[in-house]
Structure 1
């Protein structure tokens, strides 16, 4: 048996031995979810778990946690691993022993899986320090679900420095795939996301006397329809773009025309230059069309996450390593996805690969989509996830280019 095959078997053995503990960690986190940027108990729990492994975790961005695992020659290269910790404002409907104990808060996006899985990966790698050269940086991140995104805050605080990672890996649950499979896509994978807040103002009054009013509902309807030409006629057909309005409030009545209408929506795309250009088109259309109808309109665009790009060479290495661990038949090519993820900030700042972890049971259970009150996962994913990420990390540490030696202790100074 070759050295690589021996290490592969060690990783699988350690992952299997720790699977029950990893499931228990996930169930604890699932039962005690916390909303974005309020993950105080979660951060304390993660910190304690890391300390039990002999690591020295540090706090960042209020509730973010960072720790290093040093192998032989720790300054030669660094690979970063990221998990997010926040939950969603959803009332859970699953009837399971680990059901959320926080009313109206639920781990409906699998961040409990990401966090417990990375803790499992940390446990495996802590036991294999003699098998690799370099340093593994563990990033447990707050606030993925809420702008400005915990990734952006942690990067500003220096999470990608001291030591600087050669690459960043992240995983996300994927109920469309059965447990035991993963999916990847090189290049542009997920979209940028911007929140749109539009107010159309007119002059309200009695619905039976429209000639005495300036109906903002009618103006808003024209704006919603006309705005779609930005996607259908301004964007290149080769460039995915989405413009959706999901909330319209015209607080009148059957016989009352209101003074104003409030509209909320989202714009998403996979190109930063077009993103900026589209903002200008949308603003001019909204304001100009409202003015042409005698009304006024104000558009607030809240810039969200950038698009997520998987560095092609890193993703190719990750795919090859995943095939070695799971078998080629269990590694699939993903389609582009117009959802957004703040892991995109890492992908804009470093070579990054964000892959999807299958979580559906083979019998079809646990197939509810993320962000639904019945989302859950097959426990098998809690064995596959930690072991796979540990193996990917070891392979990437062996393949990543060497970097100038930096004192790993500096990370503690930058995070205090």
Structure 2
């Protein structure tokens, strides 16, 4: 084991400049979800340069292929990286700043993609050090519903062969570069979008008796909907219902005809999730009707909750400690953000872990989805090396 780890670390050092160059190219040329055509072409060229030509496209801009170890032991481990960027204008003044105005790799998918390409190089070179099959998945559209993972699954990415384990990693600016974080069991929440419109009757604010005030009615609905979580959900199930956008378009003396509201609902239990959708719809429509208005209530169902297989994640924690040292492997808390890797975790024993990218001395502290997000690029060494090691360790386990 020690010999293999040493070889992986040596290769991670050797390939670092190449992977750094790949990351910077991707960061400079970001593409939005499901528009990653040049990104996919770039990935394919990188694979050809490695001598890999038997890849195939799925979901238009997704790419998948197999790597074989020294023998077939019946095991298949999948490795996934997402490739899309966000509609954010980059504020960083760096040589690799985004060249596509209004588009930025602000969630680290350039890191995920370059790390996976580095891991592929390592696994290809060290194929005599593991048995079994690696299924490599470059996935589009993580940032946009319905999620590229769902489309890749529909197009058979988890078949022929079906992986028995699946591994994903994601940058974490709260964790210092050089460290990683894991959580067994429930990790990330389902993420649904809520849209509703309350239609009443507008009029002069000084004569409310002649109007059906949708602002007042909307206020009652927003407050009442919070009771869905506080009085219908078990306190043992984390749930969040938040509203972030309310549009009335009236004035100080104008009651508008309608009010539009947008929000999000997140939880960790699929049965309760479905029940909550029905309860929210019924309550909102009922309150509006009782006050003389109507409510058009829509739930746009998003990603399911992400669960890390306990035994598989525990094995990865031990493997990560062997690679990085106990002090560099952290246990992390539940996080109610959404991630479409969750679709894979519903189908396959999966582990989704966090790659530390923070460096306070360099001022690299910004969170994901912000214009100033960046990483300590030394994290790419662990990004590729640990990714490869965890996959090899699982294939050789037992």
Q: TM bucket by the smaller chain?
A: over 0.9
TM-score (normalizing by structure 1): 0.94
Shift in Å at residue 130 of structure 1? Answer: 1.1
Partner of 2:24 in structure 1?
27
Q: Give runs of aligned pairs for residues 12-161 of structure 1, distance below 5 A.
A: 12-55=9-52, 56-74=54-72, 76-161=74-159
Shift in Å at residue 75 of structure 1? Answer: 6.1
Partner of 2:240 in structure 1?
242
Q: Any idea what SS the aligned residue of 1:62 has?
A: coil
Structure 1 CA distance for aligned equivalents of residues 28 and 252 of structure 2:
45
Give CA-to-partner distance per residue, 1:276-301, whole Å, 9 cap, x none.
11111111110111111111101111
Give CA-to-partner distance per residue, 1:324-370, whole Å, 9 cap, x none.
00001111111000001000000000000000000001526211000
Q: Say which is worse superposed, 226-235 or 89-98, in terms of deviation.
A: 226-235
Shift in Å at residue 104 of structure 1? Answer: 0.5
Shift in Å at residue 73 of structure 1? Answer: 2.0
Structure 1 CA distance for aligned equivalents of residues 51 and 138 of structure 2:
17
Partner of 1:227 in structure 2?
225
TM-score (normalizing by structure 2): 0.98
Structure 1 CA distance for aligned equivalents of residues 360 and 291 of structure 2:
57
CA RMSD of aligned residues (A): 0.9
Partners of 1:91 and 1:104 within 8 A in 2: yes
Partners of 1:322 and 1:392 within 8 A in 2: yes
Shift in Å at residue 234 of structure 1? Answer: 1.2
Partner of 1:339 in structure 2?
337
Going from structure 1 to structure 2, the CA distance change for 1:45 and 1:310 (only over 3 Å counts) comes to same
Q: Any idea what SS the aligned residue of 1:299 has?
A: strand
Q: Say which is worse superposed, 300-309 or 225-234, in terms of deviation.
A: 225-234
Partners of 1:194 and 1:267 within 8 A in 2: yes
Structure 2 CA distance for aligned equivalents of residues 278 and 76 of structure 1:
42
Listed as ranges, the gaps of 5+ residues in structure 1 are 401-416
Listed as ranges, the gaps of 5+ residues in structure 2 are none
- How many residues are paired up? 397
Structure 1 CA distance for aligned equivalents of residues 95 and 102 of structure 2:
17
Structure 2 CA distance for aligned equivalents of residues 370 and 231 of structure 1:
28
Partners of 1:179 and 1:362 within 8 A in 2: no
Q: 1:308 aligns with which of 306, 309, 312?
A: 306
Q: Any idea what SS the aligned residue of 2:377 has?
A: coil
Q: 2:168 aligns with which of 167, 170, 173?
A: 170
Give CA-to-partner distance per residue, 1:113-132, whole Å, 9 cap, x none.
00001001001111011111
Partner of 1:381 in structure 2?
379
Partner of 2:285 in structure 1?
287
Structure 2 CA distance for aligned equivalents of residues 258 and 216 of structure 1:
7
Q: Any idea what SS the aligned residue of 1:304 has?
A: strand
Give CA-to-partner distance per residue, 1:293-326, whole Å, 9 cap, x none.
1111011111100000000010011000000000
Q: 2:251 aligns with which of 250, 253, 260?
A: 253
Q: Any idea what SS the aligned residue of 2:361 has?
A: coil
Q: Say which is worse superposed, 363-372 or 166-175, in terms of deviation.
A: 363-372
Q: Any idea what SS the aligned residue of 1:193 has?
A: strand
Structure 1 CA distance for aligned equivalents of residues 95 and 377 of structure 2:
14
Partners of 1:51 and 1:57 within 8 A in 2: no
Give CA-to-partner distance per residue, 1:168-220, whole Å, 9 cap, x none.
00000000000110000010100001111100000011222111110101101
Partner of 1:367 in structure 2?
365
